[in-house]
Structure 1
Amino acid sequence: MHKNIILLGYMGCGKSSVGKQLAIMNQMNYMDLDDYIEQKEGMTINEIFSTKGEVYFRKIEGNYLNESLVNLNNAVLSLGGGTPCFGTNMDTIIAADQNPSVYLQTSIGELSKRLFTEKDKRPLIAHTKTVDELTEFIAKHVFERSQYYLKSTHKVVTDSKTIDEIVKEILELVN
Structure 2
Amino acid sequence: MKLVFIGYMASGKSSIGRIIAKKVQIPFIDLDDFIEKKENLSIVELFKTKGEIYFRKKETQFLEELLKNEESFVLALGGGTPCYGKNIDLINEFSTSVYLKSSLQNTYNTLSKAENKESRPLIATIPNDKLKEFIAKHLFERTTYYEQAQHAILIDNKGMDEIAEEILIRLDDPALKK
Corresponding residue of 1:109: 105
Letter matched to residue 29 of structure 1: P
Corresponding residue of 1:87: 85
2:131 is aligned with 1:145: no
Deviation at 1:111, TM superposition (A): 1.5
Once residues 70 and 77 of structure 2 are traced to their aligned partners in structure 1, the CA distance between those partners, rounded to angstroms, is: 13
Structure 1, unaligned runs of 5 or more: none
Q: 1:57 aligns with which of 51, 55, 58?
A: 55
Secondary structure class of the residue paired with 2:132: helix
Secondary structure class of the residue paired with 2:68: helix
Letter matched to residue 101 of structure 2: Q
Deviation at 1:48, TM superposition (A): 1.0
1:111-159 deviations in whole A, cap 9, x for unaligned? 122223232322322331x222111111110111000000000000001
Letter matched to residue 55 of structure 2: F
Provide the aligned length of Structure 1 versus Structure 2: 170
Identity %: 48
Deviates more, 1:140-149 or 1:71-80: 71-80
1:40-81 deviations in whole A, cap 9, x for unaligned? 010111111122222221111111100111236221100110
TM-score in terms of structure 1 length: 0.92
Corresponding residue of 2:153: 156
RMSD value over aligned CA atoms?
Answer: 1.3
Letter matched to residue 105 of structure 1: K
Deviates more, 1:30-39 or 1:109-118: 109-118
Deviates more, 1:19-28 or 1:70-79: 70-79
1:3-53 deviations in whole A, cap 9, x for unaligned? 111100001100010000011111121011000000001011111112222
Once residues 35 and 89 of structure 1 are traced to their aligned partners in structure 2, the CA distance between those partners, rounded to angstroms, is: 18
1:66-105 deviations in whole A, cap 9, x for unaligned? 0111236221100110000001101111211xx2100000
Structure 2, unaligned runs of 5 or more: 173-178
Letter matched to residue 138 of structure 2: H
